[in-house]
Amino acid sequence: MTSNYIAQLGLTASLLLAGLGLSSGAIATSKGFDTSAQVVLKDNVPCFFVDRPDDTQLPVGQSLAIETNRGPTVWNIYENSGKENFPNSAARCIKYGVDWPTGKVVKEPQALQYGVPYYADIETEYRFRVEFCLSHDVHGKPQLTQWANDGNHCTDKPISETDSP
C-alpha cells in the first residue's frame, strides 16, 4: 500500500467516527461500578453494606476493598465460602478493620485519615461502591461527609447519620 492510500483510509475512518459523534481520542468508559453501596458510622467507625433484600442463596466470592481516591488500597478482605451473611443492611454491615470470620485478609487495614476521600467497593456478581470522607462535626465528633466535585478533597456535607442502626 502506498502512503497516500493509508492516509486516505485514516481520513475515511476519522470522517466515519465524526459522523457517528465519536472521536479517536474519546472512548466511552464505564464508571467503574454497577450500583451504589451505603456507609454508616457504628461506634465511630465506617460500616459498609448494600441496601438490597435478603438473598435465599448467599453469593460466593464476596470482597470488600477500601481505597483512597486515585490512591492505594487501605484495606481488602475476601470471603469465598458463602457462609458469611452478605452485608445487605446497616444491621449486617462490614465494619472497617473487622474481618469476616470465614474470610481472608488480602490487605491489613491501615488507619483511616480525616479529610481524605475514600471509596469502598463491595463485590459479588456486581460491584457496589460508596464514596465517603471521615470528618468531624462542629462538636468534634466523627461523621461521614461527601467528596468535593473534583474528588480531591472532602466537603463538610454529611452523607449519613452517625451510629445508625
| Cβ burial, residue 143 (10 Å; 0-12/13-18/19+) | buried
* pLDDT less than 50: residues of the chain: 1-29, 56, 161-165
Main-chain dihedrals φ then ψ at residue 90, nearest 5 degrees: -65, -30
Fold classification of 31-158 is Immunoglobulin-like (2.60.40)
Please give the model's pTM, rounded to 2 decimal places.
0.73
For residue 119, the model assigns a pLDDT of 95
pLDDT tens per residue, range 81-98: 777 777 888 988 999 999
Q: Which three cell numbers stand for residue 109?
A: 487495614
